[in-house]
Amino acid sequence: MKPATDALIVIDVQNDFCPGGALAVAGGDEIISRINGLMGDFATVVLTQDWHPANHASFAANHPGAEPFSLTTMPYGPQVLWPTHCVQGTAGAEFHKDLRTDPAQLVIRKGFRPEIDSYSAFFENDHNTPTGLEGYLRSRGVTALTLVGLATDYCVAYSALDAARLGFNVTVLEGATRAIDLNGSLAAARAEMQAAGVRLT
C-alpha cells in the first residue's frame, strides 16, 4: 500500500476513447486491467470523465466545413477540433465496462462548459478555470500523484503538467496510458513533461 499522501488519478477511461469509440485511442482498452490492479494500492483514487454538451465548441461538427483534427483559434488559444465524443448521457461518455469504479472516492467531470475545452483534470484549457481537484487533494493531505489513462499526449499530459505546476510530485505510468500521437504530439508531450519534472516510468 502506498502512503496516504499518494493518490491515483485515472484519466478518461471512457468508451469513446477505447477501440470502437468516436475518438478511439489505439489499445486504449489494454491498460484497464493494469489500472484496476493499481487501485488497491492507493488510499485516494480519483476518476476523470470527459463530459461534453452536444453543442461543444471543440467539436468539428459544430464548425461548418471544418475537418476533424484541424486547428482553430479560440479566445484561450489554439484548439484541435475533435470528432464529436463523450457527449453527456451517451454510451460513449460512460466509463468502459471493465474499469473498476467502486474504489474511486471522486469523479471529476470536465469539458461541460460549451465554450471551452478541458483536457486537464485540474484546469480548463484557459489554464485558469479550476475543476476543484486541487482543493480536494490538498484537503485529503495528498502530495504525490500517479497518473494513468487516456490519452498520454493530451489529457494525461495536460493533467501532469498542471499538477507539477501546482507543486505535486507527479509520476506518469506510461505502461498504463496510451497516446493519440497526432503529428508528433506524443514526443512533444513527453519532452514537456520531463522538462517540468514529471517522472515517466
Neighbours of 191 (CB within 10 A): 10
Query: Which residues lie below 8 Å from residue 85, measured CB to CB, with a gap of 6+?
Result: 16, 17, 21, 22, 23, 50, 52, 59, 92
CA distances from 163 to 8, 108, 155, 180 (A): 12, 15, 12, 21
DSSP string of 135-153, one letter each residue: HHHHHTT--EEEEEEE-II
Question: Looking at the annotation, which residues are catalytic?
Answer: 12, 110, 155
3-state secondary structure of 199: strand
Contact 45, 10 (CB under 8 A): yes
